Structure 1
Amino acid sequence: MSSSPDPRQNRLLASLPDEEYNRLLPLLKYVPLELKKILYEVNEPIQHVYFPLHGVISLLTIMEDESIAEVGTIGNEGFVGLPVFLGAEQVPGRALAQVSGDAMRMDTQAFKREVKPEMVLFNLLQRYTQAMFNQIAQTAACNRLHNIEERFCRWILMSQDRVHTDQFFLTQEFLSQMLGVRRAAVNKVATTIQKAGLIQYIRGKMTILDREGLESSSCECYAIIKAEYDRLLDGKN
């Protein structure tokens, strides 16, 4: 563990008391999350749960015609494996790394055995579950009511919060899944926002040039989602 990044770069692990953290630490393994690495697959047993340190994990729904839609995202604020926490062994969805990064991984059986209702982590995961539900609900409303430029800016801001850098890679394929539009529309909106001086987007490399401008151009959903994560994970009612 000495050569690995600090596991407490994950917000949930950072919130644990030392005794509980040290008890769980031997069960955690550092793993890189390469671009498009699958963390769990449709209707297959979930073998591991993850506490991301950097990067963005996308939760995807796969239709019968193999079209894909993103329904949620997870970064270092959270946890990949809520179905396991809620008692399920598999789900009709896929989780994969859409922006490369790294994570602490725990075996599913060890997680079930060790994480008990009296633990701080159990309470944090309950609150995180509510925060994730809030994100999914707000995103559904956003996709229905807000224009593509506002949604694009929201997602770029959320991604930057999770990768902790002004530069990261996002494919047009992923952006089209995230926004629920064709790749031609992604190219058009990226060009518009780039001409406004807010970003630079070349061959999949996203560079944030004006974060304040992105916040002004985003819909209110970015601030609402962020505030709910802060409220719930900071232990506020």
Structure 2
Amino acid sequence: MQLQQVPIGNRLLASLSADDLARLQPHLEPVSLALRQVLIEPNMPIEHAYFPEQGMSSVTNNSSGGKIEVGVIGQEGMIGLPIVLGIDQTPYEHFMQIPGHGWRIAAHDLEQAMAQSRSLHRHLLRYVQASHVQASETAFANANSDIEARLARWLLMCHDRVDGDDIPLTHEFIAMMLGVRRPGVTVALHVLEGMRVIRAKRGLITVLDREKLEELADEAYGLSETEYSRLMKTEA
């Protein structure tokens, strides 16, 4: 079978075997993903899975104290992981933090494709594991890293999922995602600016020195990214 009947910019789709990609392609629908668009509602049936090519989705725990981010998904992955596990809903909200575009597939069509292909299901389960490691590393960073390291890690994760060095984010949104007060984020951003690692303007952060940003993040960044690369090797 032909590997790509349509151009694929999503890394998870591109890592599938030729047969498994061809199995999904008739069911993939191109979609625009708008800023703040909710793709999965908490505790509601999941109707579609999404494979972003541009943009980034936040996975958040919504409590009485507000939203706290527990995961991010961009062009490396898939929004709708419970489907892979045979589950039809999740307690977490998934919404677009950075707008973009990608592909979507109906949950039923994805379930049928996995039932027909053990290799497809196995490969998507490997991505589930990569996402689990990311969530575990977020918990590790929140417990063991100072706010500058946590901010550096989060900016690196965003940088991994955008084209270029500009990241469209506000101070308020960063504070909400990190679960800290806005003044703390503002101070941390000023520290990073003073080190000439980033430039922050209203609603926009530009990465100036990624290598230094990785040094600041220290052990908070890198393990989940390495695990993703190991697990997502292209199927033969």
1:131 and 1:229 in contact (8 A); partners too: yes
Partner of 2:221: 222
Partner of 1:89: 88
Partner of 2:144: 145
Q: Secondary structure at the match of 1:131?
A: helix
Deviation at 1:22, TM superposition (A): 2.3
Deviation per CA, 1:23-63: give whole Å up to 9, x if none. 32121111121111100111111111011112211111111
Aligned-partner Cα distance in 2 for 1:193–1:140: 22
1:112 counterpart letter in structure 2? E
User: Scaled by the length of structure 1, what TM-score is found?
Assistant: 0.91
Write out aligned runs for 1:35-114 (5 A): 35-63=35-63, 65=64, 67-114=66-113
Aligned-partner Cα distance in 2 for 1:22–1:13: 10
Q: Secondary structure at the match of 1:163?
A: coil
**How many aligned residue pairs are there?**
230
Counterpart check, 1:8 vs 2:8: yes
Write out aligned runs for 1:153-168 (5 A): 153-168=152-167
Partner of 1:34: 34
Aligned-partner Cα distance in 2 for 1:45–1:22: 27
Unaligned runs of 5+ in 1: 1-5
Aligned-partner Cα distance in 2 for 1:70–1:21: 30
Q: Quote the sequence identity (%).
A: 40
Aligned-partner Cα distance in 1 for 2:65–2:153: 26
Q: Secondary structure at the match of 1:218?
A: helix
Deviation at 1:174, TM superposition (A): 2.2
Unaligned runs of 5+ in 2: 1-5
Aligned-partner Cα distance in 2 for 1:219–1:101: 29
Partner of 1:19: 19
Deviation at 1:110, TM superposition (A): 1.2
Partner of 2:3: none
Deviation at 1:224, TM superposition (A): 0.9
Partner of 1:180: 179
1:7 and 1:104 in contact (8 A); partners too: no
Partner of 1:3: none
CA RMSD of aligned residues (A): 1.7
Partner of 2:129: 130
Deviation at 1:66, TM superposition (A): 5.2
Partner of 1:207: 206
Deviation at 1:119, TM superposition (A): 3.9
2:37 and 2:95 in contact (8 A); partners too: yes
Deviation at 1:145, TM superposition (A): 0.6
Aligned-partner Cα distance in 2 for 1:173–1:48: 30
1:198 and 1:208 in contact (8 A); partners too: yes
Aligned-partner Cα distance in 1 for 2:171–2:7: 31
1:8 counterpart letter in structure 2? I
1:13 counterpart letter in structure 2? L
Deviation at 1:186, TM superposition (A): 1.1
Counterpart check, 1:198 vs 2:197: yes
Aligned-partner Cα distance in 1 for 2:84–2:23: 18
Deviation per CA, 1:184-226: give whole Å up to 9, x if none. 1111111111121111111111111111111111121211111
